[in-house]
Structure 1
Amino acid sequence: MEIIIGTRYKQEWIVTEEMLAKNVKSGDVSVFATPMMIALIESTASACLQQFLEPGIISVGSAVSVSHTAATPLGMKVYAEAEIIAVEGRRIDFRVSAFDEKEKIGEGTHSRVYLNKDKFEQKAQSKLPERA
């Protein structure tokens, strides 16, 4: 499997009520929430990487370092761009940016690790107590 540095991907959302800071408990205002901007960035990076992965292999986020520099109101379009900037073993690093219809609203870096979906989910489920 060859993951190509420089590959880019873009994804667009429209800010809904469920994405507002006051509704995700990240503030008391009616603007696009920082956790939702991070979710958009992660979703975009995941989609960028998925095209290179074999069936049964997924990626999970492992690090996020972003700034959220401008507010976006309900109903406005937002989009994120992700670019693969490094591949080190199973870790893929991205340069990420987020925008609304008027300006850049955030930027930073994001890392993902690819792995076997079934093994990952089994390991997570093994944390639960056994049921009688």
Structure 2
Amino acid sequence: MTLAPGLRSQLLTMVERSDTAEKIGSGDVPVLATPRLLALAERATVEAIRPHLAEGETSVGTRVELEHLAASPLGAHVELAAELTEVDGRRLVFAFEARDTCGTVVGRGTVERVVVDRAKFVERATR
């Protein structure tokens, strides 16, 4: 594992009906759901480190802080950027920010992940 602060990833997505609070069940409005915003943030953190993990390693989420600051309606484009800011052994801390095409900050926060051996993790989880 050769992970160091500064690793980054960016995702661009368009809000579709399946991404809405109404569809996911986290609310009753047709805007980007908070759980979907979190899933995008986690995906960006995974993508930032994927090429740098050793064979058989993966990472799992362990802690999240999320501020969902602005609504993104159907059809809106949201860009999410994540950056690895801290490495403490196997513990990784990422900062992320999501913006719409007008530059409005949609959300921001941190995601913590831990690097694990994939096979051992799955074995323990399925016992």
TM bucket, shorter chain: over 0.9
- The corresponding residue for 2:113 is 112
- The corresponding residue for 1:129 is none
Q: Which moved more, 1:19-28 or 1:1-10?
A: 1-10
Structure 1: any 5+ residue segments left out of the alignment?
127-132
Structure 2: any 5+ residue segments left out of the alignment?
none
Q: Which has the higher Rg, Structure 1 or Structure 2?
A: 1
Deviation by residue 1:67-115 (Cα, 9 ceiling, x = unmatched) = 0000001111112111111000111001111112121101111111111
- The corresponding residue for 2:52 is 52
Whole-angstrom CA distance in 1 between matches of 2:77 and 2:84: 24
Give the CA deviation at 1:39.
0.3
Whole-angstrom CA distance in 2 between matches of 1:56 and 1:78: 32
Secondary structure of the corresponding residue to residue 52 of structure 2: coil
1:77 aligned onto 2:77: yes
CA RMSD of the aligned region, Å? 0.9
What is the total number of aligned residue pairs between the two structures? 126
- The corresponding residue for 1:130 is none
> Which 4+ runs in 1 deviate beyond 3 A?
none
Deviation by residue 1:19-73 (Cα, 9 ceiling, x = unmatched) = 1001111101000000000000000011101121012111111111010000001
Q: Which moved more, 1:117-126 or 1:28-37?
A: 117-126
- The corresponding residue for 2:122 is 121
Whole-angstrom CA distance in 1 between matches of 2:123 and 2:9: 30
- The corresponding residue for 1:12 is 12
Whole-angstrom CA distance in 2 between matches of 1:84 and 1:57: 17
Secondary structure of the corresponding residue to residue 51 of structure 1: helix
Whole-angstrom CA distance in 1 between matches of 2:41 and 2:100: 13
Secondary structure of the corresponding residue to residue 66 of structure 2: strand
